[in-house]
Structure 1
Amino acid sequence: MKKFWRKRISKAESSTASIVVDGARKATGGRSKNRVVMTMAVFLGIYATIAGRLVYLGFQDPEASGGPVSRVTASRPDIVDRNGEILATDIKTASLFAEPRRIVDADEVIEKLQTVLPDIEVEQTYNKLKSGTGFVWLKRQLSPKQQNDIMQLGLPGIGFRTEKRRFYPGGPTASHILGLTNIDNQGIAGMEKYIDDQGLADLQASGLAVPKDLKPVRLSIDLRVQHIVRDEVSRAMEKFHAIAAGAVVLNAKTGEVLAMASVPDFDPNNPYNALDKDHLNRMSAGTYEMGSTIKSFTTAMALDSGKVTLNSTFDARRPITIGRQTIRDFHGKGRILTVPEVFIYSSNIGSAREADVVGIEGHREFLKRIGLLDRMKTELPEVARPSEPKVWKKVHSITIAFGHGMSTTPLQTAVGAAALMNGGLLFEPTFLPRTQAQADAVATRVIKEKTGEDMRYLYRLNATAPGGSGKRAAVPGYRVGGKTGTAEKVVNGRYSSTVRFNAFVAAFPMEDPQYIVLSIIDEPKPEKPGAGATAGFNAAPIVSNIIRRSASFLGVQPDFGHETEAKLVSYQ
């Protein structure tokens, strides 16, 4: 029995040992499995966190990070003249940025950068470098030399990004027409802004402004003529010690602007002075009393009314007194004048009596019809609104008849003169090419054809007849005609006889005028002691020089053998 129980006990102990070993094995295997699961969970959590962070950053506004937008500037189409010459184009340039999180010593970085960029804003740059953000702009649009010099510094956390910058090969030649872009290559003035407003800004915002898909924008400007115009007005401003000068060449048959310049101007490649008040585009964004050039419209109004003909006469023997104002002639003849004499002698008295024939309402209606009283419609954004009396009285009509009391832009004056010269059709001016068919479709008749014929005669007469004020605008072979305008400027609330705004409006060739050329010169001085300072001495020669130098480019051939001079109609 004892042996039996010893055997049973031995078997039991053996069985128990087996159970213990199996249990230990199962416990160890469970813990290993748990470790694997936990490890996988940790890695999955890490990757989920990274993915979540990436998704979060993807939905963030880049501008909210405290630094500038890091996107690359969008492309713009080339701007070319009517002959395909490039006026504005995109070029690649490098811009300097920093990653503040990688900057170890901001002071050292600034100190080294100053050796290449001495004008860098120290405090502002320091704040950027210490901001702890991932990206900040330090300097946009570097020169290749600046980029190379900065690269040689070997600064960690400093890099370059290729951007697009607008480049104007002609510099200031057509600055007021082309306008400007900002640091992000977006149009902010001139035709650059017009292009953005036509849909380019939306393309840029949507990322669809791809260079290969952007066709060049062709303007009506002729770069050759534009260069001549700017050169002549710049010379005149210097020669006559004026504060400003300008001119425009306009196609009288279509309303296309072939050239327009106003000085002082600016270089759009370095527009540091573009916003200075003296650099205003005076041709379209400035309004002025245009002086006796307005007599062109007064005479045309009288003729178009049917109440006056070229044979009509007006009494200019005595000044006109109305209220406290007395209207006199600058060089009075003291006699009765014919309509042609009123025009070539630029009689204030005669012009006032022409307006009186039409009446106050008729006078205002005519000026509005011909576009001198409303804000001009054209592509250029910089366009000023003309000014006129709130309530027209007889005194206003009389003074406006000879160019005082109403202000308009020089470009509008040229557009109105084109209607007088082309047979009576008014076109809104355009800086884009316009075919004759397109021009005819938008034309508005504002005067009778007979009135236009009479005005062409008077313009030519003023440039050829004895006593005519337009003689200095003559160009042999081109039969130029025109009208001077010498307006006294208001100084301390009174008209000054020594401070003037001068203008000359001309057309050529007079047998069938193709082009209008209008020049202005602000506060000119006599060229030399004793010389005159009226429009005939300074504004008219500007026109003459422009026509002489540009007529061949405009396709007008000289004719020296068949010049017919207009004859003065005079009745004593």
Structure 2
Amino acid sequence: MMSVTADDLGSTIALDGGRKVRGNLTQARIRWMVLALVLGFGLVGGRLVQLGMVVPDTTIEGQARDAITATRPPILDRNGLEMAVDIRVPSLYAEPRRIIDVEEAVRKIRTVLPDLSEPWLRDRLTGDKGFVWVQRELSPAIEDRIMRLGIPGVEFLTESKRFYPGMSEASHILGSTNVDNQGIAGIERHMDGENVALLQELGLARGNALAPVELSVDMRVQHVMHEQLVDAMSRYQAIAAAGVMVDIHTGEVIALASLPDFDPNQPATALVKDSFNRITAGIFEPGSIFKTVTLAGALSSGAVTITDQFDARFGIRFGRFTIDDFHGKHRILSLPEVYKYSSNIGTIRVMQAMGKEAFRQFLTSMGFDARVPFELPEMRLPTVPKELSEVGAATASFGHGLSVSPLHMVAAYAAFVNGGNYVPPTLYRRDQAEAEQFYRRVITERASAQIRYLMRLNALEGSGSQMNKAALGYRIGGKTGTAEKVVDGRYSASKVTNFFGSAFPLDNPRYAMVIMVDEPKRENPQSGTTAGWNAGAVTGRIVQRVAPMLGIAPDFSPLIDEQLVPPELR
């Protein structure tokens, strides 16, 4: 029999105790490891939740990144010619917190961009900002030179920049964009939502911002009008000139120019004195082109007829003042003679036959009390007295004592020759079916036919003869207007604003136009300063150039003019 000793028992107890201690230690370590992992995952999860709740910075110095890098839709004329397009350009920015040596960065950047102010650039590159602009809209060549400098924290962002191939030719139509490619004037501003609600009501707004924007403008006609206005300012030493042509059936603006103008590729040039849009943002006393308004209203109302005669032997007295004719015939005048000779006396007699209240109401119906509904934001309210006194109505009848824009006048002339329907003008494409939804009858068809005859008569025998010589064969007619300017509160005989309102071809009218020349001088000693010599002549030269472009063939048959004569006068 084997015996168990005390030594053997002691050794076994010690081994079991060691195993137990090691087991407990392992379990403790595992528990600590699990706890550490839980805490670690908890911290990571908490950080992820925190980051998920942070709204990312989508702006660059207060401007949305998407807005800065966004592309604007191209603008096309009615024939698909590009008037405004986007080009991609590099812009230089810096991350100051990544710049190691500010002085070195300033020195190197100024070797390529020496026009940057050193203190400004140093301040710009100092600090812990994550993004600052250094210079926008640079050339690829400059981008390459700066990248070769290898400056940490200096990078480029590709932006969209607006480019206008026509330079200043359509500047007052297009407007311009700012450095962030946002529209700040003209149709560019309208495209960004200016007055869209109002214009949608009038059918003038367009929806898809991504599609090309098609304007009603014909850049061929726009080029000719702009060229002739530049020539007029030089030829007549004028301080300004402007013009607008519309399709009388659709209201589409075919051309619109105003000088002085600006280069939309350099928006700062728009700030030059007097470079505002005189067609929409200028209001003027229209002078005798307003006589067409007076006669149209009176003929349409039935207050006068085309065969009536009016006493123009003597001036008309109002208290201490007498209104007379500029080149008075001082005899009885027929209504066509009142228009042909631009008789103030005869026009007042016509207005008085209509009645000053009815005359004032007709001005309201023609839209002379409010802005013309139009896309351009650069507009001014006309100034037409709400109530007309006897003398106020008399002077208003021949275009004095009230101020309206040339856009008001061209819209009125379009209505007078298109059969009597007022249609709001537009810079967007619009077919006749769309336009007819906005027709508003303002004069009768018979009165419209009689006005066409009077306008053609004035071209053949009256103050529009200079215009007619320049545009022979295109059956154009119109009315001159020479308005004395107010200087120091009084009318000046030496400073005038001249207008010519016209339409062509009058046997089948398609277009109306208003031309303005401000403060013209004599072209030569044999010429004059009244509207026929300048605004009328400019009108004729424009029509002679653009009529063939618009599909109007010349026709010299005298039968055409005979057919315009009203039956009562044949």
Normalising by structure 1, report the TM-score: 0.89
Which of 514, 539, 557 does residue 518 from structure 1 map onto? 514
Which of 48, 65, 74 does residue 51 from structure 1 map onto? 48
Q: What do residues 296-323 of structure 1 show as CA deviations (whole Å, max 9, x unaligned)?
A: 1112222223232222222222222213
1:423 has 2:423 as partner: no
* Secondary structure of 1:321 counterpart: strand
Q: Percent identity?
A: 45
- Give the match for residue 165 of structure 2: 169
Question: Are 1:340 and 1:568, in contact at CA under 8 Å, matched by a contact in 2?
Answer: no
Which of 114, 117, 123 does residue 110 from structure 2 map onto? 114
1:504 has 2:496 as partner: no
- Give the match for residue 479 of structure 1: 475
CA distance in 1 between counterparts of 2:547 and 2:340 reads 25
* Secondary structure of 1:163 counterpart: strand
- Give the match for residue 413 of structure 1: 409
Question: Are 2:190 and 2:196, in contact at CA under 8 Å, matched by a contact in 1?
Answer: no
Q: Gaps (5+ residues) in structure 2?
A: 198-207
| 1:490 alignment partner AA | V
1:157 has 2:153 as partner: yes
- Give the match for residue 174 of structure 2: 178
- Give the match for residue 470 of structure 1: 464
Query: How far does residue 248 in structure 1 lie from its aligned partner after superposition?
Result: 1.1
CA distance in 1 between counterparts of 2:146 and 2:42 reads 43
Q: What do residues 371-404 of structure 1 show as CA deviations (whole Å, max 9, x unaligned)?
A: 2222111222222221112432111101111111
Q: How does 1:12-411 map to 2 (within 5 A)?
A: 13-15=10-12, 17-19=14-16, 21-22=18-19, 24-26=21-23, 28-30=25-27, 32-33=29-30, 36-37=33-34, 40=37, 43-44=40-41, 47-48=44-45, 50-52=47-49, 54-57=51-54, 59-63=55-59, 69-71=64-66, 72-120=68-116, 122-197=118-193, 214-411=210-407
Query: How far does residue 200 in structure 1 lie from its aligned partner after superposition?
Result: 10
Question: Are 1:372 and 1:416, in contact at CA under 8 Å, matched by a contact in 2?
Answer: no
Q: Gaps (5+ residues) in structure 1?
A: 202-211
- Give the match for residue 208 of structure 1: none
CA distance in 1 between counterparts of 2:29 and 2:293 reads 104
Query: How far does residue 49 in structure 1 lie from its aligned partner after superposition?
Result: 6.0
- Give the match for residue 204 of structure 1: none
Range 223-232 or range 90-99, more displaced: 90-99
Query: How far does residue 363 in structure 1 lie from its aligned partner after superposition?
Result: 0.9
* Secondary structure of 1:510 counterpart: coil
* Secondary structure of 2:502 counterpart: strand
| 2:183 alignment partner AA | G
Question: Are 2:85 and 2:164, in contact at CA under 8 Å, matched by a contact in 1?
Answer: yes
In angstroms, what is the RMSD of aligned CA positions?
2.8
CA distance in 2 between counterparts of 1:31 and 1:68 reads 57
| 2:554 alignment partner AA | P
Range 399-408 or range 116-125, more displaced: 116-125
| 2:219 alignment partner AA | L
CA distance in 2 between counterparts of 1:75 and 1:46 reads 43
CA distance in 2 between counterparts of 1:342 and 1:118 reads 68
CA distance in 1 between counterparts of 2:349 and 2:157 reads 69
| 2:78 alignment partner AA | R
| 2:245 alignment partner AA | V
- Give the match for residue 543 of structure 1: 539
Cα distance change, pair 108–329 in 1 and its aligned pair in 2 (3 A): farther
* Secondary structure of 1:142 counterpart: coil
| 1:472 alignment partner AA | Q
Question: Are 1:485 and 1:503, in contact at CA under 8 Å, matched by a contact in 2?
Answer: yes
Cα distance change, pair 66–237 in 1 and its aligned pair in 2 (3 A): closer
- Give the match for residue 200 of structure 2: none
Cα distance change, pair 105–525 in 1 and its aligned pair in 2 (3 A): farther
Q: What do residues 233-264 of structure 1 show as CA deviations (whole Å, max 9, x unaligned)?
A: 11111222222111111112221111111111
Question: Are 1:477 and 1:563, in contact at CA under 8 Å, matched by a contact in 2?
Answer: no
Question: Are 2:215 and 2:427, in contact at CA under 8 Å, matched by a contact in 1?
Answer: yes
CA distance in 1 between counterparts of 2:426 and 2:443 reads 21
CA distance in 1 between counterparts of 2:536 and 2:165 reads 31
Cα distance change, pair 433–39 in 1 and its aligned pair in 2 (3 A): same
Normalising by structure 2, report the TM-score: 0.89
User: For this pair of structures, how many residues does the alignment match?
Assistant: 551
CA distance in 2 between counterparts of 1:47 and 1:152 reads 41
